[in-house]
Structure 1
């Protein structure tokens, strides 16, 4: 049985970040990953695209109102 994906792995799969395995997360590797995330233009482009998608999503309040209306 495979283990479930972590949030970090899901973010990395989109190209918006880097996932380090627990055994790989040394201070040096973490610093290198943070530096890359902050400076890589492709990661910046991907995160901006994700931010735009998220901005179009309904708020939790809107979702709750839709669900409440559907329940009536």
Structure 2
């Protein structure tokens, strides 16, 4: 028969291993969330840059139309 000490030692080792696995899992999830945040931030930056470029084109078109209509009058 095993002694209580040996049983406790195996239990503690199993608990340490489980704790290590859980820590790795938590770190992995944290990293995944960070990567997702970074991706969303990049997407927002790209969308903002596109929106600014689109607005610049619209302003140019409005300006061209205004100049065209002024020259017609």
Structure 1 or 2: larger helix share?
2
Please, what TM-score do these two structures have when normalized by structure 1? 0.31
Please, what TM-score do these two structures have when normalized by structure 2? 0.31
- Structure with the greater relative contact order (CA < 8 A, sep ≥ 6): 1 or 2? 1
